Amino acid sequence: MKNLYLPITVDHIARVEGKGGVEIVVGDDGVKEVKLNIIEGPRFFEAITVGKKLDEALAVYPRICSFCSAAHKLTAVEAAEKAIGFTPREEIQALREVLYIGDMIESHALHLYLLVLPDYLGYSNPLKMVDEYKKEIGIALDLKNLGSWMMDELGARAIHQENVVLGGFGKLPDKTTLETMKKRLQEALPKAEYTFELFSKLEQYEEVEGPIIHLAVKPRGDVYGIYGDYIKVSDGFEFPVEDYKKHIVEKVVEHSFAKHSFYQGEKPFMVGALPRLVNNADTLYGRARELYESHRDLLRPTNPFANNLAQALELVYFTERAIDLIDEALAKWPVAPRDRVEVKNGFGVSSTEAPRGIVTYALEVKDGRVAYADIITPTAYNFAMMEVHVRMMAEKHYNDDPERLKYLTEMVVRAYDPCISCSVHVARL
């Protein structure tokens, strides 16, 4: 190789969760190498939970990642319940989904307002926006607080929810609390819509346009949501969640503690809010459906920046959806929090839609203990595709001021809303 310049590196990408960097090597005839270095250390979650009591392992799994601890908890619990042959009652399932939506609302609000928006408005840090953007910060805090309060009430706290147990919940909120929750969700709707308006005006960089393969869980009951039993691919293919290993391979790459995932052997793909919309928009309803119809041209399946707007649309959708789910549970009130479960031997797989895309848990239970665990997180699914998009951005801008190049590539990474720490604790070969 001749004429290689010093690599342009971001050691630690700011305003994402976890430690990762970008490294770009440029030569005379263009970009040579683009790497997402994932330097967050490994925590070996699968290895440390094997042989452990099922309930204790279930308490540990959410600690993979704080931004989606509810997603981890609920997916792990579903996989475990499938393994032991238990199906929760409908009203319990509805309330678990409300908890999951709390995570969705909090996570999307945090990502959009505190992590993404400062780039667009020219701030290095969201706290600095307080004086100039009172309204936006106010909405961010309101939505974030609503999401965390929902998790406090249904999960015992907003991070690492101990209140979800095999068979249901430790304790359920009373009827009045659920009614208040419904009211607060109704009040949040205009704020969610404002968020959508705001994000519909932001630049989506043309530099990264190109075909993307989208993967999302096919929603159960054909209503846009979090749970499902099949994975839908934007090329028209569908497969049961149990078959994930047949269609997705994971590879260790030397510049990352997190693995890369590929569809059909070698194809990078995307998961997240945008893939959910691309694959499942026909199952949306309500105000979100209208917004989707009127803004289709902005929700481009070919541009990862559209993921930001897709999240904003989901803020509207999931707020409405949670109201309906609370109504479902209230219709059956009083609801018993928990059923007796018998911990039988078995194997279960659950894939659900975490805020940033599909998360998969495969658990084998034997004599009340975890005998096998395989976990793939959304960001691990996304890394290979993310690297492709960072490269596209670098190829258009490698001649620019290095500071601008860094800023643009970081923005690509942030659009994916990566959970870097959660991505490194995953998946055996």
Q: Which residues would be at the binding site for ligand SF4 (CB under 6 A)?
A: 63, 66, 159, 162
CA distances from 56 to 77, 157, 269, 349, 370 (A): 11, 18, 33, 18, 10
Least Å distance, CB 48 to another protein, is: 4
Contact call for residue 422 and another protein (CB under 8 A): yes
The residue (of 14 and 331) whose beta carbon lies closer to another protein is: 14
Least Å distance, CB 62 to ligand SF4, is: 9
The token pair at 292 is: 């989707």
Which one of 4, 141, 331, 336 is in contact with another protein (CB under 8 A)?
A: 141
3-state secondary structure of 360: strand
Q: Could you tell me which residues come within 8 angstroms of residue 152 by beta carbon, excluding any fewer than 6 positions away?
A: 158
Radius of gyration of the CA atoms of the chain, in A: 21
The C-alpha atoms of residue 95 and residue 91 are separated, in whole angstroms, by 6
Least Å distance, CB 424 to another protein, is: 8
Which one of 88, 102, 126, 355 is in contact with another protein (CB under 8 A)?
A: 126
Burial of 196 (0-12, 13-18, 19+ CB in 10 A): buried
| Amino acid at residue number 228 | G
Least Å distance, CB 279 to ligand SF4, is: 32
By CB under 8 A, the residues from 146 to 205 that bind another protein are 148, 156-160, 162-163, 165, 169-171
Which one of 28, 30, 87, 124 is in contact with another protein (CB under 8 A)?
A: 124
Q: Where do runs of H (alpha helix) occur along 201-285?
A: 244-247, 273-280
By CB under 8 A, the residues from 22 to 41 that bind another protein are 39-41
- Report what 126 binds from ligand SF4, another protein, none; CB cut-off 5-8 Å by kind: another protein
The token pair at 264 is: 């059909």
Q: Which of 10, 124, 4 is nearest to 402 (CA)?
A: 10
At residue 324, φ and ψ (nearest 5 deg) are: -65, -40
CA dihedral angle for residue 142, residue 287, residue 92, residue 344, rounded to 10 degrees: -110
Contact call for residue 63 and another protein (CB under 8 A): yes
The residue (of 139 and 419) whose beta carbon lies closer to ligand SF4 is: 419
Q: Where do runs of H (alpha helix) occur along 61-174?
A: 69-84, 90-109, 117-121, 134-155
Q: Which of 328, 272, 373, 336 is nearest to 97 (CA)?
A: 328
Least Å distance, CB 416 to another protein, is: 16
- Report what 41 binds from another protein, ligand SF4, none; CB cut-off 5-8 Å by kind: another protein
- Report what 404 binds from ligand SF4, another protein, none; CB cut-off 5-8 Å by kind: none
Contact call for residue 404 and another protein (CB under 8 A): no
The residue (of 66 and 180) whose beta carbon lies closer to ligand SF4 is: 66
Contact call for residue 257 and another protein (CB under 8 A): yes
Least Å distance, CB 417 to ligand SF4, is: 18
Binding site for another protein (CB under 8 A): 12-15, 17-19, 39-50, 52-53, 56, 59-60, 63-67, 69, 110, 114, 118, 124-127, 130, 141, 144-145, 148, 156-160, 162-163, 165, 169-171, 251-257, 259, 337, 410, 421-422, 426-429
